[in-house]
Amino acid sequence: MPVKRLILMLATALICAVLASVLVVRYVRTREEEARRTRMEAQPIVVAANNIPMGTRLDAGLITVRDWPKAGVPQGALSERDAAVGRLVKGEITRDEPILESRLFPKDVSGTPGIMSVMVPPGKRAMAVGVNEVIGVSGFILPKDRVDVIATRSDQSSKSSETILQNIEVLAAGKRLEQEGKQNVEVPTLTLAVSPPEAERLALALQQGKIHIALRSVMDRDRQEGHLAASAQEAVVRRKAGSRKTQADTKPEKKEGKMIEIEVIRGDKRTTETYPIETP
């Protein structure tokens, strides 16, 4: 009797072990099948490779493409890198967060409310200036171009021009409406990214005369020393005065005659210089 009971117990244990093995195998196969089915239903979407601050312009290094469960793909998620590269971020995006259409400004940001404050680089100010087709290089200046700003001034006694700003980024190029008589006239404008001191020089130049825009080459980012260009009549007066100043070792003779005062403006500095006028 004890032997029969022992055999029965062993048989029962063996059957339970077989059943347990079958259940485990079926469970594992079921999980594998679910995982395989999930992988088959995944959808590639664009996600943030790192934390992206507000106002950042997306490039290929800031984003990546990953498989995302199709059932959990958020609405508006982008599936291609090209759809995100070059666009500005409206708000901060954390790492591994899907890039949504609603979180980005459109590629053509002209006229988009609130876009300009995002486009201005840190430490810079956005300043709009009115131009015409000649001043604005016949309309060929576009956002991201670099330009120089030349100020021209004239009064009754002299005329001059000077490069007051160099290598300035163009944030936007467009048109604005201005009132001319009883009609609205479209005036071309350029919005420039300038530092606060540069903004002051530009405002002073606009107040005292006219400005001209010179488009820079994409290969040219160096600043050059500016020179004050004067009118031909003023240059003759300066050249004659300069020839006397070079004779430092001899004592100049005092000659009575008429004097002329010339007001010279360099940036935000204004000086008055007096020169004698030679009579024939």
Domains and CATH numbers, the chain: 42-103 (3.90.1210.10), 115-230 (no CATH), 232-276 (no CATH)
Cα–Cα distance list, 176 to 69, 99, 134, 184, 210 (Å): 47, 33, 17, 10, 19
**pLDDT tens track for 132-183:** 655 555 567 887 889 999 998 887 777 888 899 999 998 877 765 444 555 5
The predicted structure's pLDDT at residue 106: 82
Q: What is the pLDDT of residue 164?
A: 92
**Per-residue confidence (pLDDT) for residue 178, from 0 to 100:** 47
The answer to whether the CB of 123 falls within 8 A of the CB of 194 is: no
CA distance 164 to 152: 10
d(CA 142, CA 91): 26
- Using DSSP's 3-state secondary structure scheme, residue 117 falls into helix
Query: pLDDT tens-digit profile of 16-72?
Result: 888 888 888 888 888 887 777 666 678 899 999 999 987 788 888 999 999 888 888
What pLDDT, in 10s, does the model give residues 225-246?
Answer: 655 555 444 444 444 445 444 4
- The pLDDT confidence band at residue 264, using thresholds 50, 70 and 90, is low
pLDDT of res. 241: 47
pLDDT interval class at 111 (50, 70, 90): low
